Amino acid sequence: MPRISLPALLTLIVFASTARAQFSIYGTVAATDYGYAFNSGGLTYNGDYLGLGGGLTYIFPRDRRLTLGIDLRDYVTPAARGGNTGVVSFRIGVVPHKVPLRPYFQIGPGYVSAKVPAVVGPQTVDIAAVSIGGGLDIRVARHIDLRVIEIESTAGVSATQSAGTASFGTGVVYHLQAARPTNP
């Protein structure tokens, strides 16, 4: 499971501050459904469980209504039939003029790990995957957005097994914005 180290996190924060970019951290709560399959069979879904997630987003510096960025996220569903997901996505967002709505779309590579119930104890299907998702944030304060809705699906397939997940969630986003240079 990919994890970001403290030095890497601090480097990203400093880079975001000096580049007039936006760096954000977020946490989410979601209803998740993990599934698995063996030998080219159809996915067997484990049912909806509570999942928790979080991530880091870097928005490239631009003064336009269309934003481009990179999103690093990790989700875990600790239930006996849950799983976890890690993804690095390319992110496209829209910042409408004079409206607090912030819709976004993202797609990227990662992994999915689905727990498989077994007679001798739980096992997992771990596989490289592709994730696609989108959502809507609403600006509620200068540095805070409410993630009203986020829908995401991650799936991976190999010759002998496959795994996937779908989630429907909500959360909070905190923006670490760089100081804008002042004109003398």
- Residue 138 has a pLDDT of 96
Tens-digit pLDDT profile for residues 144-171: 999 999 999 999 998 888 999 999 999 9
Higher pLDDT residue, 10 or 159? Answer: 159
Tell me whether residue 76 is in a domain.
yes
Tell me whether residue 183 is in a domain.
no
Tell me whether residue 65 is in a domain.
yes
Tell me whether residue 64 is in a domain.
yes
Using the 8-state DSSP alphabet, how is residue 11 labeled?
H
Tell me whether residue 74 is in a domain.
yes
Higher pLDDT residue, 91 or 5? Answer: 91
- Residue 182 has a pLDDT of 40
Which CB contacts under 8 angstroms, 24+ apart, belong to 107-110?
Answer: 107/131, 107/132, 107/133, 108/71, 110/85, 110/86, 110/154
Tell me whether residue 182 is in a domain.
no
- Residue 179 has a pLDDT of 45
Tell me whether residue 1 is in a domain.
no
- Residue 96 has a pLDDT of 86
Distance, in Å, from the CA atom of 55 to the CA atom of 143, rounded to the nearest integer, reads 16
| HSE-CB for 142 with a 13 A CA cutoff | 4
In total, how many domains does the chain have? 1
Instruction: Write out the two tokens for 112.
Output: 């999915």
| HSE-CB for 9 with a 13 A CA cutoff | 10
Prediction pTM value: 0.80
CATH number, position 168? 2.40.160.20
Distance, in Å, from the CA atom of 25 to the CA atom of 39, rounded to the nearest integer, reads 39
- Mean pLDDT, the chain, integer: 84
pLDDT > 70: what percent of the chain? 82
Tell me whether residue 184 is in a domain.
no
Tens-digit pLDDT profile for residues 12-46: 555 555 455 689 999 999 999 998 888 777 777 77
Residue range(s) defining the domain that contains residue 72: 6-177
Tens-digit pLDDT profile for residues 46-71: 778 899 999 999 998 877 889 999 99
Distance, in Å, from the CA atom of 10 to the CA atom of 69, rounded to the nearest integer, reads 18
- Residue 1 has a pLDDT of 43
Q: Which helix (H) or strand (E) holds 120?
A: none
